A = this chain, B = another copy of it.
Amino acid sequence: MTEKKKAVVLLSGGLDSATVVAMAQADGFDVHALSFRYGQRHSVELDAAERVARQLGVKEHKIATLDLRLFGGSALTADIDVPKDRDESAMTADIPVTYVPARNTIFLSFALAYAETAGARDIFIGVNALDYSGYPDCRPDYIAAYEKMANLATRVGVSDTEHPLHIQTPLIDLTKAQIIAAGTKLGVDYSLTISCYDPDPAGHACGHCDSCLLRKKGFREAGIDDPTPYQQGA
């Protein structure tokens, strides 16, 4: 029996990364999922990550603790209000206040350490250039530059240039509706996931932040019932 190829998948507990886990598995990878406890206001997303990892049967799930609050600068980790009920032009016009400085760069760097020690050559990240055009670290040219750097940073890049590391971004050009349709076909249970920037302590979504609005619209456009547990009245 040959060993299955391994991939490290960044898993936030949101809709996108849950879909990525299922896609990596469909591509034949044993998934080593990696989540972060990074001082986010809502730790309910880690509960969601664990539920998703269990439902999809990942090979291993590690949670790294790090403190991004040390540097401040984001509504997701600092005491800045999450904007509500914005229209889509406002969402995509600027870099949002929910942007965490260098977050994907930090997350990918941990994934790189994990990949190197686990013997994985593929790192999956659920970035999306359409819905999150305001985040600099969700763009294809950023990912390409990261991949190039990663291959120079590691033993693998030095000693085995025939099997380079790949940063895989299967969602990068998909709409939210396409992501939901693909994940539903692969058996992802989206009721286990949470996308909300401002959930209540029980994990119910607010229904009004940018992330909730995009998610609702995605289910609507995909023609699939939205199983998200929302707060009363949301």
Seen from chain A, the residues whose Cβ lies within 8 Å of a Cβ on chain B are 62, 64-68, 70-73, 95, 99-106, 108-110, 112-114, 116-118, 136-137, 139, 141-142, 145-146, 148-150, 152-155, 157-159
Q: How far is the CB of A108 from chain B (nearest CB, A)?
A: 8
On whether A155 and B136 interact (CB within 8 A), knowing A110-B106, A113-B106, the answer reads: yes
> Would you mind naming 5 contact pairs between A and B with Cβ atoms under 8 Å apart?
A95-B159, A104-B153, A108-B109, A137-B154, A142-B149
Q: How far is the CB of A118 from chain B (nearest CB, A)?
A: 8
A95 touches B139 (CB 8 A): no
How many copies, total? 2
Docked complex Cα distance between A155 and B141 (Å): 14
Give chain B residues whose Cβ lies under 8 Å from the Cβ of A114: 70-71
- 7 smallest A-B Cβ distances: which pairs? A102-B113, A145-B149, A101-B116, A142-B152, A73-B117, A102-B112, A71-B117
Docked complex Cα distance between A65 and B38 (Å): 11
On whether A62 and B73 interact (CB within 8 A), knowing A101-B112, A102-B113, A109-B109, the answer reads: no
Docked complex Cα distance between A63 and B162 (Å): 38
A117 touches B72 (CB 8 A): yes
If over half of A's interface residues share one DSSP class (helix, strand or loop), that class is named, otherwise mixed; here it is helix
Give chain B residues whose Cβ lies under 8 Å from the Cβ of A142: 149, 152-153
On whether A112 and B117 interact (CB within 8 A), knowing A64-B67, A139-B152, A142-B152, the answer reads: no
Docked complex Cα distance between A116 and B114 (Å): 25
Residue of B nearest to A149 (CB): B145
Q: Which one of A70, A104, A113, A159 has the highest number of Cβ atoms from chain B below 10 Å of its Cβ?
A: A113
Q: Which of B67, B102, B157 contacts A65 (CB 8 A)?
A: B67
Give chain B residues whose Cβ lies under 8 Å from the Cβ of A105: 109, 112-113, 149-150, 153
Docked complex Cα distance between A93 and B83 (Å): 55
Give chain B residues whose Cβ lies under 8 Å from the Cβ of A136: 152-155, 157-158
Q: How far is the CB of A146 from chain B (nearest CB, A)?
A: 5
Docked complex Cα distance between A72 and B118 (Å): 9
Residue of B nearest to A62 (CB): B70
